[in-house]
Structure 1
Amino acid sequence: MKLRLNLLAIFGVIIATAVLYKPLRAFWPEKVGMDCQDGRVCVDQAQYAFQAQNLYSRALSFVESNVGTLDKAPQIIFCKTDLCAERFGLGKRSAISLGPWAIVIGPRAWKDYYVRHELIHSLQYQRLGILKMRQLPQWFVEGMAYSMSEDPRTPLSQPFENDRAEFESWFKQVGHDQIWSAAKNLSES
């Protein structure tokens, strides 16, 4: 009986967390009305599925050719509407990467460089681990994503423009072949 109550309590906490912490909904997008035809790319409006799949495919190919190969490509949710973005808790953000597992793209982020940026974050999580990602300086995490996604916006708002410049300076010294091993030696100062 006590085991059942404990399991029920744990299940309740999981459900409550998924309801209250909206980004977790990305792990069950069909439950909030998303159309996930291939299991990897989900859209809130089915007529945009082809466009979303093309964006994802191009971005994945770019990242794997220019930054590094993902062990497993994450699920990606494309929101065409603000209501969809709100369902996943984007708030003012254009997109969000949920570790190595999932990405949510908001209505303003249906651009190659946004999708590449979030895939780079997923790659960072895969190569460096979730715990290490929490210890890395922002200039590395965000600077790498802005720089290596070839984000054309210049200047970026601060602090992101400085993050990109600092990453690019560091990257010139380290080089592509040593990026992951050198990143493991970085820590937030």
Structure 2
Amino acid sequence: MWRKPPSFKRLAVLLCLVVPALAWAFVKPVRVVMPGWADVTCAGALCTDDMRRASEAEQLLAEAQAHVERQVGAFGRRPRVIFCARQACADYFGLGARSAVTLASVATVIGPNAWKPHYVRHELLHHAQSDRLGPITLLFKPAWVVEGMAYGLSEDPRSPLAEPFESQRKAFLDWYGGIDHTQLWPELRKL
């Protein structure tokens, strides 16, 4: 017996309901869109799961924002940053073994071991990259641009970094040394 195929309207409704639900369940970084479900408290663009450490998180974020803006210019869109003091919070957002993660220019999650200036700067540099270049364009940039820039301009004190990150940092800093720093974004768009 022949069955009539589902209408486009029904298929569209199904996709609009199912795809976000699946993303929420399986792509945990997407959860940054609604961090309140992770038992975090937000004040503006800063969220944390431990309000006793909110002042520390505010200081780290303010220092990192100022540092990144000195390096690459003002943010177009201010980042939302979620500071997880507990591993359960980091797990909720899908950090796994990572110390921190930035989801395009939507939000950044800082894990319990990443409450250090260079980690927050690193992630805010990824935010700036996504904000200025676009998340899709960023996917096609070489790793020495994406990670090398974040490690190099964050002034990460670890030296040497584990490979391939040390080589990526060196490649970026070598390239960066040969350009007019006021033309960083146009130069990056050319790559």
2:37 alignment partner in structure 1: 31
Larger radius of gyration: 2
AA paired with 2:77? K
- The question of whether the paired residues in 1 share the 8 Å contact of 2:72 and 2:184 is answered with no
SS class of match (2:159) = coil
| Superposition map of 1:11-160 within 5 A | 11-36=17-42, 38-160=43-165
Between the aligned partners of 2:180 and 2:174, the Cα distance in structure 1 is 10
TM-score, scaled relative to structure 1? 0.92
* 4+ aligned runs moved over 6 Å, structure 1: none
From the superposition, tell whether residues 175 and 8 of structure 1 become closer, same or farther in structure 2 (CA, over 3 Å).
Answer: same
AA paired with 2:32? A
AA paired with 1:7? V
From the superposition, tell whether residues 170 and 8 of structure 1 become closer, same or farther in structure 2 (CA, over 3 Å).
Answer: same
From the superposition, tell whether residues 6 and 129 of structure 1 become closer, same or farther in structure 2 (CA, over 3 Å).
Answer: closer
AA paired with 1:13? V
From the superposition, tell whether residues 46 and 169 of structure 1 become closer, same or farther in structure 2 (CA, over 3 Å).
Answer: same
SS class of match (1:71) = coil
2:3 alignment partner in structure 1: none
AA paired with 1:120? L
AA paired with 2:118? Y
Deviations 1:47-73 (CA, angstroms, capped at 9, x unpaired): 111111111111111111222211111
1:7 aligns with 2:13: yes
Aligned residues: 185
SS class of match (1:157) = coil
Q: Percent identity, please.
A: 42
TM-score, scaled relative to structure 2? 0.91
- The question of whether the paired residues in 1 share the 8 Å contact of 2:48 and 2:84 is answered with yes
Between the aligned partners of 2:38 and 2:112, the Cα distance in structure 1 is 17
SS class of match (2:75) = coil
AA paired with 1:12? V
Between the aligned partners of 2:88 and 2:38, the Cα distance in structure 1 is 11
The unaligned stretches of length 5 or more in structure 2 are 1-6
Deviations 1:132-165 (CA, angstroms, capped at 9, x unpaired): 1011000011111111111111000000000010
SS class of match (2:178) = helix
Deviations 1:77-100 (CA, angstroms, capped at 9, x unpaired): 111111111111001110011001
Superposed CA RMSD in Å reads 1.6
